[in-house]
Amino acid sequence: MARSNNKLVPQSKKALDVLKYEIAAELGLPVGKHMSFNADTEFATELGSIPSSSMKEDYWGHISSRDAGAVGGTITKRLIQRAEEALFSL
């Protein structure tokens, strides 16, 4: 069976992104345009030697696999928690 990254509910993408960055912030992971992992890169974008438009909002290349997995695992845990809460409130 071929895997795909297509969302079952495409409208959920924005909510999942918000949750992803919220959890990354809780774990102290430097991701996103405003949280540069390297002060020199941040300084270079301010000087214009690296255009800020080339800095990706969703860059996770400097995050270890373990940390990225922790974010994914926490997302799954929270989604299950919310689903259980919704079921129990019926």
pLDDT in tens, 31-86: 865 554 444 444 444 444 444 454 456 778 888 999 999 999 999 999 999 999 99
In angstroms, rounded to a whole number, what is the distance separating the alpha carbons of residues 37 and 31? 7
Nearest to residue 32, comparing CAs of 70, 75, 72, 41?
A: 41
- Amino acid making up residue 70: A
The pLDDT value recorded for residue 52 is: 47
* 29 sits in which H/E element: none
Nearest to residue 71, comparing CAs of 9, 15, 22?
A: 22
Task: Specify the pTM.
Answer: 0.64
Tens digits of residue pLDDT in 1-38: 567 777 788 888 888 888 998 899 899 888 865 554 44
